[in-house]
Structure 1
Amino acid sequence: MKIVIFITLAVMTVALCLAFVRLVKGPSLPDRVVALELFSTLSVGIIGVSAIMTDVASFLDVSIVMALMAFLATIGFSRFLERGGPRDD
């Protein structure tokens, strides 16, 4: 069981690094918004796996709050782009 958790954390960490690269290098602002959403989703997943690994239930509360905040941030960025915010594409 521990091996599966460590492999999951390793894969999610690599995906987090790749999402960060896309966030920094993204060719356009919508690409960066999607990368930011992926970054936050992977962070929530890592916190969830850490909660399973350590048996600390309060990590799940942190994970839920972070997921809700990331969702609202994505909605805010999308509304900003929809209303004609600055674009570099």
Structure 2
Amino acid sequence: MPPKRKREQSEDGVPESERGTDKGKGSRKKPKPFTREEDLIIIDYLDSLKKFADLARLFPDRVPFSVRQRVVLIFAKMRGLAGGW
């Protein structure tokens, strides 16, 4: 019976955490927070819409959320915290 290989090492000796194939706890990369410049770009874009209703139209209609809930989800999506749509 062949010896078991270590979980951290792949067959060619490169740690799986460096390859992105590690399935261990904490292997999912968390989204980085926006920089101030990115925040300003988003704020300028939102100011150009002028209405929350226009912003809410960007969110798909398949979910029965109110305009306010859609806006909250859009902000969460922009921050990378919400699930995909």
Larger Rg: 2
TM-score (norm. length: structure 1): 0.28
TM-score (norm. length: structure 2): 0.29
Kindly indicate whether structure 1 or structure 2 has the higher relative contact order, using CA contacts under 8 Å at least 6 residues apart. 1
- Kindly indicate which of the two structures has a greater share of residues assigned to helix: 1
